[in-house]
Chains A and B, each alone.
Chain A
């Protein structure tokens, strides 16, 4: 395994970064300024839809990217694949944490208003928390191996092994726990009752945050690849 010459196409990175920055600025302005219908209890918290949901979509995208690069590592890929798997997991964890916080806060003031609970073992919430636990274990495992090539291999094995178990939760959890999330238990996901103006902001928000993921991820890959060139170890 030897580091390849160029990890990142810097020109493409700069173009995408500028586009994403402009796109997200417009999207956030629209999220706060556009008028939305007032619904009892939900009120202005409905705007959280533009942030909470895209965070999850982004984390799922990150999980796929990370697992795909872990498979690449085992198929004889370079240390660069390992860097990509790690950085996707890191940025994904950041998005997952933000999704969890925005979700807990939102539900506290809407679904659980009056009951005053923070955590109610909603299936999706549980699954997301579990994915974060897995990544936590993945980072701990990485810090326990000193030699880069061996670390790449061992971490990739764990990442794939853990990724295999997560889909089981899709089957197990909904049978044991009730969900209030849209799209589960016959709740409509995105239907005609959702105001059209919200779709107008929501879809661009999803694209924008996934774009932000790409920018942060590529930036970190670039940094780690530079470290690898200088020190022979991407994490020094």
Chain B
């Protein structure tokens, strides 16, 4: 089977399943909104610095990813569809299809989280394009790591809360770059030139993570 064709088939299957139950979408939206509102109530009237605003934004996105995307492969196991997928498509197609689906979900999370932070925590976005670029590139790396690790989780016996433990140490370089990059989007004096280094790092990080993940995925996927 053509590689693009297989990837598209996996993505289509994911989208169709999601349209039926809307579990992941609803869960992610509610998680992001309620946790950010909780933060806003806890912070109250206090002014918080831009660095802290983007830090909170990214922490919520990371937690949303580690909670909402962890079920990608566990669900296949529970529905008993793993063998069917293994028979019909190659491992790299499964990985890429799920990666694209997770990435779309994460982009939605980014939009909602940014809106909520802007409204409740009074975030002042000076360069919207830059913030969007940082969010998009950061989420790509995040989706790449989460997709491989959720396949690992599906191979363990107690699948529950393991994903954050595995995910967070890997994402430290990403977190450092996205926070600096997003911070530059909030400061009139910074803007694109100040964020170029972060963007380059994020692109490189996402590329390396996804390439390694595709190379390693078969070892987790096949028995």
The 0/1 profile, CB within 8 Å of A marked 1, for residues 200-215 of chain B is 0100110011001100
**Of residues 169 to 191 in B, which have CB atoms within 8 Å of A's CB atoms?**
169-173, 176-177, 180
Q: How far is the CB of A1 from chain B (nearest CB, A)?
A: 13
A150 lies within 8 A of chain B by Cβ: yes
**Chain B interface main SS type:** helix
**Of residues 136 to 154 in A, which have CB atoms within 8 Å of B's CB atoms?**
136-137, 140-141, 144-146, 150, 153-154
Name which of B6-14, B25-33, B104-112, B152-160 contacts chain A: B152-160
Q: How far is the CA of A173 from the CA of B173 in the complex (A)?
A: 8
B113 lies within 8 A of chain A by Cβ: no
Cβ contact within 8 Å between A154 and B216: no
Cβ contact within 8 Å between B219 and A171: no
Chain B residue nearest to A165 (CB atoms) is B170
Q: How far is the CB of A102 from chain B (nearest CB, A)?
A: 22
Cβ contact within 8 Å between B176 and A173: yes
Interface size, chain A (Cβ < 8 Å): 29
Cβ contact within 8 Å between B219 and A153: yes
Cβ contact within 8 Å between B170 and A150: no
Name which of A52-60, A156-164, A190-198 contacts chain B: A156-164
Which A residues form the contact surface with B (CB < 8 A)? 74, 130, 133-134, 136-137, 140-141, 144-146, 150, 153-154, 156-158, 160-162, 164-165, 168-169, 171-173, 175-176
Which B residues form the contact surface with A (CB < 8 A)? 145, 148-149, 152, 155-158, 162, 165-166, 168-173, 176-177, 180, 197, 201, 204-205, 208-209, 212-213, 216, 219-220, 223
